[in-house]
Amino acid sequence: MQQAYKLSIFYYLLFSLLLIFSAVMLFEHKIGFSYNSVLEYYIGNEEKFIPAQSAAGILKIVLPHIFVFGLLTMVLLHFLVFTNLKSRRVFLILIYATFATAFLEIFAPFMIISGWWFFAYIKLLFFFLFLALTLFILWLLFRKIR
């Protein structure tokens, strides 16, 4: 792999780490990391004056996330293709798992406001699982470009 290509990937990976770090900070600040805080954010809480989210409001948040999650995942996995990752099976598992966790994390709020409150757990689980998979891919790439 050429040095310029390695340098470009390195900077993309650094910016991806900054994106992940800021996503965790914003999620914690805006929603919180507990089941109750996720429910309060989406279905509201009259005692705390937290309004319920509407489907239109969630859609406004979800639309840019669909693009960003898809683009980030596609680019990272595309870079991974150029490494010497030996196992095709591991690569396919990473592809399917990363896109599936992103999909479930993005669309869980619609299920929460529809009364499927256990999707608050799904939202939290897949938020962290998506981050873990992304960090794992970043680690694989950092390791390969050294």
Q: 6-18, pLDDT tens digit by residue? A: 899 999 999 999 9
Give the range of the structural domain holding residue 41, as residue numbers without chain letter.
3-145
Question: How far, in Å, CA of 52 to CA of 66, rounded?
Answer: 22
pTM equals 0.92
The answer to whether 71 touches 77, Cβ cutoff 8 Å, is no
pLDDT band of 1, cuts 50, 70, 90: low
**pLDDT over threshold 90, residue 67:** yes
Provide, rounded to the nearest whole percent, the portion of the chain with pLDDT above 70: 99
Domain count, the chain: 1
Question: How far, in Å, CA of 50 to CA of 42, rounded?
Answer: 9
The number of residues making up the chain comes to 146
Question: How far, in Å, CA of 24 to CA of 29, rounded?
Answer: 9
**pLDDT over threshold 90, residue 33:** yes
